Amino acid sequence: MSESQSPLNIGIAGLGTVGAGVVKMLQQNAALISARCGREIKIISVIAGNKNKDRDVDLSTYEWADSLTAMAQDTRLDVIVEMIGGSEGQTKEFVEEALKNNKHVVTANKALLAHHGYELAQLAEKHNVTIAFEAAIAGGIPIVKSIREGIAGNNITSVYGILNGTCNYILTEMREGERDFNDVLSEAQEQGYAEADPAFDIEGIDAAHKLALLGAMAFGVKPDFASLDIQGITRLTLKDIKIADELGYRIKLIGMARQEGVDYIQAMAPCLVPKSSAISGVEGVFNAVQTQGDFVDKTMMEGRGAGEGPTASSVLSDLVDLAKGNFVPVFGVPTNQLNTAQWQGPENLTCACYINCHVKDEVGVVSDITSCLKENNVSMDSLIQKGHEQDGSKNIVIVTHVASYKSIKQAVGSLANLSNVLDSPTLIRIENI
């Protein structure tokens, strides 16, 4: 084997589901991968929290690194595969040390990059290496390569995505099984689709980490997780899902990053999307990302958003690129060309909305609601009344015409103060994507 064909030597830190999956894939498809790369991708060392844990994969031929620092400083290694997780502490220090020692980093760690991506990209450039993170967004979907390279000739004006399989699974099961949120969440935990503490998923934080990275690549700006407006799915009810279905919509947790003139808007929130749209048909644990470019128009990619196989596949795609000597700046352009975006919240959108008011079933309630909307310059496209409960309540559901989202939110705030409105009204944007 000539010098140009010497192996790409890697160290793997973290041997959980994905880390072990990377080992399995390299072992099972070794000949195929070597043929496609023109060289071997060779595991030299591994490290994880528990050396003796059964991971259903043979690790006997690999060295066990003494520490993360020792792995980061190992002069034999070309690439560190970081599968530890976490955005601070030892993980951040480990990645920094690897970059300082002129090693490429391949990671699935969206939280680390959402919070520290710009600074880490600067460090990578200083040492002529890169951070590859295909596995950090949407599991097995090659969306990073698509945005950063495939449609790089386009002015990308928007990115929309279903970016969390747990939430999509819950919403799908609620609708198809006519089941309540808590019931489906418990089942998702039992089946391993949701963590014991599911807050990062169901509150939209995990998906927002991914959206921050998508927006950075799409628009050539610094990732800015702190400016993201984030809503999860915990307030959604089966009633909302059924009514939306009757109206011709499905409710999805949608990440949106959009260019509006010189400003950019990014938000993570449940949205109503028309049943006729491609993204509405993405169900269960699947993810999807839709982009809009000036020449390519709309593109959409769909696939499994998590799990050993899909995520390991994305890790391998990055390793194959590095084995071929192909790497680009972390966010597509050098860090000195990344702009600081003037991110705006969804209040700056104009859109139609769904409003569900739980009210006392009494004379004058509809008049009071329409007055609140009128006072805030919001007009109704439709109004329906659902149910007459034994406790003397009902639901009044309004679909607004397109208006300022800020005005619609103000109107909903006024509705919440009405004496005949029993709970805070549910407000959901309608996205015609």
pLDDT digit string, tens, across residues 17-39:
899 999 999 999 999 999 999 99
CB of 21 within 8 A of CB of 311?
yes
Q: What pLDDT does 2 receive?
A: 41
β-pair type (8-13, 79-82): parallel
Q: What pLDDT does 247 receive?
A: 96
pLDDT at 387 over 80: no
How many Å separate Cα 189 from the centre of its chain?
19
The residue-averaged pLDDT of 235-243 equals 94
Q: How far apart, in whole angstroms, are the C-alpha atoms of residue 5 and residue 387?
A: 71
Residue pLDDT, tens place only, 330-360: 999 999 999 999 888 898 899 999 999 999 9
pLDDT at 236 over 60: yes
Q: What pLDDT does 361 receive?
A: 86
Complete domains list, the chain, with CATH: 3-136 (3.40.50.720), 146-303+339-346 (3.30.360.10), 349-430 (3.30.70.260)
pLDDT > 70: percent of the chain: 99
pLDDT at 139 over 60: yes
Predicted confidence band at 286 (pLDDT cuts at 50, 70, 90)? very high
Is the dihedral angle over the CA atoms 310, 314, 317, 322 positive or is it negative? Answer: negative
pLDDT at 71 over 90: yes
pLDDT at 75 over 50: yes
pLDDT at 1 over 80: no
Q: What is the DSSP string of 49-109?
A: S-TT---SS--TTSEE-S-HHHHHH-TT-SEEEE----SSHHHHHHHHHHHHTT-EEEE--
Out of 140-154, 260-274, 382-396, which region has the weakest mean confidence (pLDDT)?
Answer: 382-396
Q: What pLDDT does 195 receive?
A: 81
Helices (H) and strands (E) in the chain, counts: 14, 18
Predicted confidence band at 116 (pLDDT cuts at 50, 70, 90)? very high
Q: What pLDDT does 281 receive?
A: 96
The residue-averaged pLDDT of 117-134 equals 97
pLDDT at 405 over 60: yes
- Catalytic positions, please? 210
Nearest to 268 by CA among 195, 164, 189: 164
Kindly give, in sequence order, each residue whose CB lies less than 8 Å from that of residue 355, ignoring residues fewer than 6 positions away.
Answer: 397, 398, 399, 400, 408, 412, 415, 425, 426, 427
3-state secondary structure of 394: strand
User: Mean pLDDT across the chain, nearest whole number?
Assistant: 94
Q: What pLDDT does 308 receive?
A: 86
Q: How far apart, in whole angstroms, are the C-alpha atoms of residue 108 and residue 139?
A: 9
Angle between helices 165-177 and 238-246 (to 10 degrees): 70
pLDDT at 3 over 60: no
Residue pLDDT, tens place only, 190-214: 887 888 889 999 999 999 999 999 9
Total residues belonging to the chain? 433
pLDDT at 381 over 70: yes
Predicted confidence band at 363 (pLDDT cuts at 50, 70, 90)? confident
Out of 235-249, 376-390, 392-406, which region has the weakest mean confidence (pLDDT)?
Answer: 376-390
User: Residue 275: which region, alpha, beta or left (left: phi > 0; alpha: psi -120 to 50)?
Assistant: alpha
User: Does the pTM exceed 0.85?
Assistant: yes
Nearest to 398 by CA among 424, 428, 422, 363: 428
pLDDT at 173 over 80: yes
